[in-house]
Amino acid sequence: MNQLQFTALITERDALRYTPAGLPIVNAVLQHSSQQMEAGIARLTEFDIAAVAAGEISGRFNAAALGGVYEFTGFLAKKNRNSKSLVFHIIDFRAAESSAHLDTGA
């Protein structure tokens, strides 16, 4: 299974555009920060990840507040067929329950 769920801040977002096939798409960068337990030790995890919202979800994502914290669900895939870089594909998102950027969950 390829499913990823995490809380993140929308730090960058490109303008809504359309693919040659007419599919609406928005590229963005999401920033995550949380404390996780690993082998009984608290570990700070921080990362920025390239993200894309395509199709129906792109309009809602495009209207989301830049700098807002949301809970994202999606999957990872290569940026393109020949790339080694991964991109997070947003399937769904909702406003995070806590406005605190530092979260204790995954």
**What is the mean pLDDT, run by run of 10 residues, along the chain of 106 residues?**
96 96 97 95 96 97 96 96 95 82 46
Instruction: Please check whether residue 73 lies inside any domain of the structure.
Output: yes
What is the residue range of 58's domain? 4-95
pLDDT of 97 reads 82
pLDDT of 106 reads 44
Instruction: Please check whether residue 102 lies inside any domain of the structure.
Output: no
Instruction: Please check whether residue 59 lies inside any domain of the structure.
Output: yes
Instruction: Please check whether residue 101 lies inside any domain of the structure.
Output: no
Instruction: Please check whether residue 104 lies inside any domain of the structure.
Output: no
Count of structural domains within the chain: 1
Q: What is the CATH number of the domain that holds 19?
A: 2.40.50.140
Tell me how far CA of residue 40 lies from CA of 33, 43, 52, 104, in angstroms: 19, 9, 34, 14
Its pTM stands at 0.87
Tokens, residue 56: 């129906």
d(CA 4, CA 106): 9
